[in-house]
């Protein structure tokens, strides 16, 4: 993650101008109308992922215009996919108006004049912008023009997944070696989302469809890592695909369903064991929180992954902590109070 801007340490009189200039550098030049009040505040995060660039902003609500004059001064000739997470906005382009609620998406083009109006009843707005070139997707740019300033609603499963992906990309921490892969997966998701809207799904390459499906499966899996009853078979059912198709998706990425889920669970356990605020929670409770229902099995796979038993690992990094506790024997003991909604995802042992 690259924190491009935070106005927290700037003089009040400089905050708005600095935010506007940084937005022009990271996305494209815009004119901001209706200068905000003196207490304007903002943060901005930008990240590059090869063929994709993301900018996540949180700021006092403003009105943004991209005028013909600004286009003549500098145009990256780029598509902009905008996700709204907080606030209510109207996006105008090509004589269309899209009214965005939190979770919605809209596609704009840098070469066309556009306007963004913020609902004054919302004091702050949070959004993400994903920028990609005209040839980045296996869909003709001329067909994407049909989607400019068309609201893509959050209640659509693929739209919701894309919105979540964009926020994670813009604010997460990723190894540079992962940039190309993350870019490819995200663009495949965009291709599937747009193709479905344009009824062009059959024209997409099989690899694009598979990558998007795998991303959806993994997203559902992550939401249910703490569910010890979800097997690969149940995960396949939740995604309306066969078990063989599910296995093939993971095999194409040199993994297995069980191995991928186990690794994600172990990562969550490792994170919790390193968290000082959880130092008093028994190791067994942390394991159960992430779907490990057998003490010996958890200790064995954790030691294989990290070279030490869970208790030794915690003591090495946090020093002496509270009791590790005995393995819980009831379902109520096994489930931590903050387990996420069980709306989908894999669990394998």
pLDDT of amino acid 339: 27
| Beta carbons of 55 and 129 less than 8 angstroms apart | yes
Question: Computed from CA positions of residues 97, 102, 105, 110, in that sequence, does the dihedral angle turn out positive or negative?
Answer: positive
Cα 125 to Cα 90: distance, rounded to the nearest angstrom: 12
Q: How confident is the model at residue 62 (pLDDT cuts 50, 70, 90)?
A: confident
pLDDT of amino acid 264: 92
Residue 19 has pLDDT above 50, yes or no: yes
Residue 322 has pLDDT above 50, yes or no: no
Cα 99 to Cα 149: distance, rounded to the nearest angstrom: 9
Q: How many other CB atoms sit within 10 Å of the CB of residue 229?
A: 10
pLDDT above 90 covers a percentage of the chain that reads: 55
* pLDDT tens digits, 206-250: 999 999 999 889 888 988 999 998 789 989 998 889 999 999 999
Poorest-pLDDT segment among 39-53, 96-110, 267-281 = 39-53
pLDDT of amino acid 286: 95
Give mean pLDDT, residues 328-334: 34
Residue 329 has pLDDT above 60, yes or no: no
Nearest to 157 by CA among 165, 168, 148: 165
Residue 331 has pLDDT above 70, yes or no: no
Residue 39 has pLDDT above 90, yes or no: no
* pLDDT tens digits, 76-134: 899 999 999 999 999 999 999 999 999 999 999 999 999 999 888 888 999 999 999 98
Residue 343 has pLDDT above 50, yes or no: no
> Model-level pTM?
0.76
Output phi, psi for 114, to 5 deg: -150, 160
Cα 250 to Cα 257: distance, rounded to the nearest angstrom: 6
Give mean pLDDT, residues 293-319: 92
* pLDDT tens digits, 122-181: 889 999 999 999 899 999 999 999 999 999 999 998 999 999 889 888 887 777 777 778
Helix residue ranges per DSSP H, 119-256: 141-144, 157-171, 179-198, 206-223, 232-238, 243-251
* Averaged confidence pLDDT in the chain: 85
Poorest-pLDDT segment among 32-36, 179-183, 293-297 = 32-36
Q: Helix, strand or coil for residue 17?
A: helix
Residue 195 has pLDDT above 70, yes or no: yes
pLDDT of amino acid 217: 92
Q: How confident is the model at residue 48 (pLDDT cuts 50, 70, 90)?
A: confident
Q: What are the structural domains, with CATH classification, of the chain?
A: 2-204 (2.60.120.10), 232-334 (1.10.10.60)
């Amino acid at each position: 993650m690259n924190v491009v801007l935070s106005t927290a340490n700037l003089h009040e009189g400089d905050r708005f101008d600095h935010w506007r200039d940084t937005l022009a550098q990271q996305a494209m030049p815009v004119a901001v109308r209706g200068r905000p009040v003196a207490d304007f505040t903002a943060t901005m995060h930008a990240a590059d992922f090869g063929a994709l660039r993301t900018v996540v902003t949180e700021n006092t609500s403003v009105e943004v215009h991209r005028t013909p004059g600004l286009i003549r001064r500098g145009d990256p000739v780029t598509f902009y996919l905008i996700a709204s997470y907080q606030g209510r906005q109207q996006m105008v382009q090509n004589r269309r108006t899209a009214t965005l609620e939190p979770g919605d998406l809209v596609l704009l083009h840098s070469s066309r004049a556009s306007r963004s109006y913020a609902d004054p009843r919302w004091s702050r707005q949070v959004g993400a912008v994903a920028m990609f070139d005209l040839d980045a997707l296996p869909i003709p740019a001329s067909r994407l023009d049909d989607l400019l300033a068309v609201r893509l609603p959050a209640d659509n499963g693929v739209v919701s997944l894309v919105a979540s992906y964009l926020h994670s990309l813009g604010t997460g921490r990723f190894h540079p070696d992962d940039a190309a892969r993350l870019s490819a997966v995200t663009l495949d998701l965009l291709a599937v989302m747009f193709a479905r809207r344009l009824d062009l799904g059959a024209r997409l390459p099989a690899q694009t469809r598979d990558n998007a499906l795998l991303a959806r499966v993994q997203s559902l899996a992550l939401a249910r890592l703490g569910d010890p009853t979800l097997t690969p078979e149940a995960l396949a059912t939740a995604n309306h695909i066969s078990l063989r198709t599910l296995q093939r998706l993971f095999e194409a990425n040199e993994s297995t369903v069980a191995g991928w889920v186990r690794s994600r669970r172990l990562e969550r356990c490792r994170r919790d064991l390193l968290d000082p605020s959880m130092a008093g929670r028994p190791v067994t409770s942390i394991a159960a929180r992430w779907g490990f229902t057998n003490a010996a099995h958890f200790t064995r796979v954790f030691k294989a992954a990290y070279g030490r038993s869970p208790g030794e690992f915690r003591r090495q990094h946090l020093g002496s902590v509270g009791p590790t506790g005995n393995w819980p024997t009831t379902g109520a003991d096994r489930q931590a109070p903050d387990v996420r909604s069980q709306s989908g995802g894999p669990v394998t042992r």
